[in-house]
Structure 1
């Protein structure tokens, strides 16, 4: 039976104690040195920067003749010295952006009470005094489902909004500045919240991009490792997406007339689109970071198998479909969700039938779909190394062998394993190829480290797609149940950390915990800190702590600078019509201490 209880009040002041030292000092020294070197280089490039979030931008002149706008520079800073554990500041233990008022209409956010930490004893019993005995084995941050979006991309299917709320979200134009605010939050964390130990790394668990587009991948790598990021494609200074098309289905922020979203209370914000596409300068993370792939990173639209070039032709072309006749899209989307269009045949037919109402846009080769090989090569580009490691988990050997999974040491006692759960045969659910499944089995059996943390994009419940990979048509694929059983058989595995579902959920399985984290595009827009400790009493603890981006809880609608836009990103997501309201999960899926027996 599951047993869950609250820990002591997170706002109380516990008796101070000094966290026990790590078991891998030599490696930790190297990681910190690499991180410091990357941060120093980034800081040198930011001399003379504006304040932490810059000042509100001026709206560029409209039309093709708009003058280039300099990048807004953000100031990174070394994270402050770790305090005596635990601490709550800058986490959802302290405060959470909370809706004001009841349901109905456009709701504003304000700072609200934090979410307390709950102790979960589903797999082991908590013993008194473990706080004084525990030793930290690993501490990391998980980013998942950033969905950095080129909102002017011709392959986007916003016109299916009536069929699925995920087809278009009013907040999407701010995905880049929102992710930048998350980078700033992590850079400012004072170590791990529960133990005070230094953070080892950041791991992304897929859907880093949205349209499988080269421009989005470039934005993601620039945000994570540092550099100039311009979330704009096509003709600079001339927005050509659905939000400037005068179509009632979408929020038209620069027009006073009532559209579908303004009738829900969305604001009139002249200058919003110019501000949303303005160049930014990311300081990059001040921690090493690793990358895991998701279906939106490899599949056009996150759904369709790459193959004969149709997606490339549409993505880089000069026509964009922005609306459909009423009722046309619902049947099509039902077939997509049922897995009946893995190659995009129905999608191509739809676009062909609707060619007449398409609108002309400026073609841009940067919108081209990214192949798995190009995805890895971009990670290996020295421009994107940042604080390291070079390749962020991927290596030249990964390219040669055409594999997108790998193992890496988190510490002397903890092995990390990053899986590729995307099925290149198409559809948004995932699975593992047999070769990878056997590699996972062997790696867990032969590892030197006594403990392992497994990372993937898909959850165990969303790995039901065993369609053959076109490159390996005769190879069997393994579903989530098979992976779950394999991990349960391994005495090393403590947690399977993933995303995809856009919802916080923590599930006990025989021998390990499955930790699924909400996305950073849908409300409530969170990342998660995970800490592993040995408690010196026959148990281990996994601490999970959710963090919001470094943006004010309350939005100032007059502030179209990066900080104001990051705050607005969160508020728009809260109010997106049709958005799910359960993505924060239950209290036991948020800030927790998860007990395990020592193996």
Structure 2
């Protein structure tokens, strides 16, 4: 198929130069040259593995060889055409982030002491690396910037999607930090002033990892290192972010919906979040957090009953109050996405004025003229970390997929929950809305061959599942998180093989920091330290979260749902020119 003529190329270049404010000469020369490939930093080139034991059971990390793409034929069920490697063309290249868990570790609303009762059950309440979440997230944004051109085809990144759990403890400050990091603004982690005020700095919290002196508790026994400057370094200076290189979109996660992703918000928790007292003990946390749950007989109350704890005010320290820590109402998660930078955009990041006016929390957008994305809200509004698909969204999506099928438009689905965690049907008394589970949802998607991929998170594990086989099906792609090891995310590329098949290439990204942290206190070293601490989660099996080689760098093949030759080369060339011009404007603005 013919591409753009020289006249069309020059006309398009001039229009893009005018739209971006770039020099037409510079833009024209860049658009005429080949995009970079090959040495783009991804796990194709280098991986990060467990290193040697330094103390007790504590391990450092080390670099390892890269991992090539592994073809998966679970759906195609046929030998792929070897010639596809020389004929393929890129239809879309996107970034996929999930479970960032940006944390204000000094917030009084955190319920970290719950791990004193059961570390395995309440591990998400506290991580040794909590004060370093903004540093790890900024380093991950840098990794997406570094991978703004596909390592496979050189195609420019068209968009990025964040599939939930962005603000860890429902704090407006965390929400603001996450949006600013995506947008390329600096974030000041010193939410309580120049001195760190939190359990990791307090000798009384022996159940926590206290880097100044970890002795006397389980983390010390495990062999966690003494790092006397870590907490001061974590809040010493604002963390700079380079910003995502392409327009980005967002959906709700359970942590963006409920407290700790599990419990409803009470007046007591709202008050605690902006107050000046923070708990360091299970007794204090139970007393402060449970007051509003006492009438419900919920999980917190059960903990108190089981331990025979009396509600009280013991186990608290005074801290600096910060009104920016207020817990946000559900609608404000959407509204805050409208307070954003004009670039990379878009304003609302998938959410529209209709969402604000109607309260609907799901959306659609065309990522390119040929690929449409649907962003769903699978979170349960009542209780519990897992989710389901409400009937109103199910019916809406079904109608939209009918249209996409008729229009021959490829479809990506984005949600927080995956097919292993869509069975939470908790409802308030009197609610009549049907909540659809995974079997019904997957079966519905399989009826529309234009659905080629479902991007999600929630489980903090790299995992790829095949749905369907032979003539139709789609791939479910779950990425790991930025808080738990391996602190990885991914890029996904849809490729037309020009032989009646298409491939989804998944490429895993480590955040842009060295395997072995230094002691400089730089944001990069602190991000590296975060990954090392996460790799030593003794209550979990951190290496398992990497997934198998079949869940990381893969080529996921399937039959094309329609004749892809109906997408002209000239249309793709025009699309890629627009995306490359946007990246050049990004590079120019950031001095890259």
Q: What range describes the TM-score normalised by the shorter chain of this pair?
A: 0.7 to 0.9
- SS at the partner of 1:461? coil
1:522 to 484, 489, 500: 484
Q: Does 1:157 align with 2:130?
A: no
Q: What is the Cα deviation at residue 412 of structure 1? A: 1.6
2:358 to 401, 421, 439: 401
Distance 1:555 1:215, change over 3 A: same
**Structural mapping, 1:352-391, within 5 Å:** 353-381=311-339, 383-391=340-348
Q: Does 1:477 align with 2:450?
A: no
Aligned counterpart, 1:270? 228
Contact 2:53/2:60, CA 8 A, preserved across alignment: no
Aligned counterpart, 1:298? 257
Contact 1:82/1:197, CA 8 A, preserved across alignment: no
* Structure number having the greater helix percentage: 2
Q: What is the Cα deviation at residue 529 of structure 1? A: 0.6
Distance 1:354 1:459, change over 3 A: farther
Where does structure 1 lack aligned partners over 5 or more consecutive residues? Answer: 1-18, 41-77
Q: TM-score, normalised by structure 1?
A: 0.81
- SS at the partner of 2:240? strand
Aligned counterpart, 2:69? 117
Aligned counterpart, 1:574? 535
- SS at the partner of 1:462? coil
Q: What is the Cα deviation at residue 158 of structure 1? A: 1.4
Contact 1:422/1:429, CA 8 A, preserved across alignment: yes
Contact 2:388/2:423, CA 8 A, preserved across alignment: yes
Aligned counterpart, 1:211? 169
Distance 1:576 1:585, change over 3 A: same
Give the distance between the partners of 1:189 and 1:378, measured in 2 at CA.
27
Q: What is the Cα deviation at residue 36 of structure 1? A: 6.3
Aligned counterpart, 2:137? 179
Task: String of CA shifts for 1:256-290, please: whole Å, max 9, x gaps.
Answer: 75543233222222221122123223232221111
Contact 1:180/1:282, CA 8 A, preserved across alignment: yes
1:99 to 46, 50, 54: 50
Distance 1:29 1:530, change over 3 A: farther
Contact 2:148/2:245, CA 8 A, preserved across alignment: no
Give the distance between the partners of 2:229 and 2:19, measured in 1 at CA.
37
**Structural mapping, 1:422-433, within 5 Å:** 422-433=379-390
State how many pairs are aligned: 523
Aligned counterpart, 1:547? 509
Aligned counterpart, 1:143? 97
Q: Does 1:594 align with 2:556?
A: yes
1:285 to 234, 244, 251: 244
Q: What is the Cα deviation at residue 83 of structure 1? A: 4.4
Where does structure 2 lack aligned partners over 5 or more consecutive residues? Answer: 24-29, 562-592
Task: String of CA shifts for 1:505-558, please: whole Å, max 9, x gaps.
Answer: 1110121111111111111111101000111111110000001111111212x2
Distance 1:195 1:251, change over 3 A: same
Q: What is the Cα deviation at residue 174 of structure 1? A: 0.4
Q: What is the Cα deviation at residue 138 of structure 1? A: 0.9
Distance 1:32 1:405, change over 3 A: farther
Give the distance between the partners of 1:181 and 1:474, measured in 2 at CA.
44
Q: What is the Cα deviation at residue 373 of structure 1? A: 1.5
Give the distance between the partners of 1:425 and 1:561, measured in 2 at CA.
41
Q: TM-score, normalised by structure 2?
A: 0.82
- SS at the partner of 1:416? strand
Give the distance between the partners of 1:422 and 1:195, measured in 2 at CA.
36
Q: Does 1:536 align with 2:504?
A: no
2:455 to 494, 497, 512: 497
**312-321 or 584-593, larger mean C-alpha shift:** 312-321
Q: What is the Cα deviation at residue 118 of structure 1? A: 0.5
Q: Does 1:513 align with 2:475?
A: yes
Task: String of CA shifts for 1:454-500, please: whole Å, max 9, x gaps.
Answer: 01000111011112268x82222112222111111112111111000
**184-193 or 508-517, larger mean C-alpha shift:** 184-193
- SS at the partner of 1:533? strand
- SS at the partner of 2:94? strand
Aligned counterpart, 2:570? none
**123-132 or 414-423, larger mean C-alpha shift:** 123-132
Contact 2:160/2:249, CA 8 A, preserved across alignment: yes
